C-alpha cells in the first residue's frame, strides 16, 4: 500500500473556530488536496470515483455519529 504524500501533515488553523467563515475556508483549503489524493488513489485501485466520494461522505457522517455517542 502506498502512503499518501502529506497525509501526516495537516496544517493547524490560524483562525479561531468562532470566526466561522474564515475557519471553515481554511479547513477546506487544508483538507482538499488530501481528499483529492485519496480519491485519486481509490480510482487508481479500480474504484469508481463517485462511489469512493460517496463512501467517504458516509464514513465521515458515521464518524461524527460515533464521536457523539461516546461524548
In a domain, 9, yes or no: no
Q: Please indicate, yes or no, if residue 37 is contained in any of the structural domains.
A: yes
pLDDT for the residue 18:
97
Q: Cell numbers for 9, please give them.
A: 501533515
d(CA 61, CA 18): 22
Supply 1's cell numbers.
500500500
If one compares 3 and 58, the residue with the highest pLDDT of the two is 58
Band the pLDDT of 4: cuts 50, 70, 90: low
Assess if residue 38 is contained within a domain.
Answer: yes
This prediction's pTM: 0.78
8 lies in some domain: no
Residue 55 inside a domain? The answer is yes
Q: What is the domain count for the chain?
A: 1
Q: Give the whole-angstrom CA distance, residue 68 versus residue 70.
A: 6
Q: What are 12-57's pLDDT values in tens digits?
A: 999 999 999 999 999 999 999 999 999 999 999 999 999 999 999 9
Apex 6 CA angle, 4 and 8, nearest 5: 95
Domain that holds residue 48: 20-70
Amino acid at each position: 500500500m502506498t502512503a499518501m504524500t502529506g497525509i501526516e501533515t495537516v496544517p493547524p488553523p490560524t483562525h479561531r473556530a468562532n470566526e466561522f467563515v474564515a475557519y471553515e475556508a481554511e479547513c477546506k483549503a487544508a483538507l482538499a488536496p488530501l481528499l483529492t489524493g485519496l480519491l485519486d488513489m481509490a480510482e487508481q485501485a479500480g474504484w469508481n470515483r463517485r462511489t469512493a466520494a460517496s463512501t467517504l461522505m458516509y464514513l465521515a457522517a458515521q464518524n461524527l455519529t460515533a464521536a457523539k455517542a461516546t461524548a
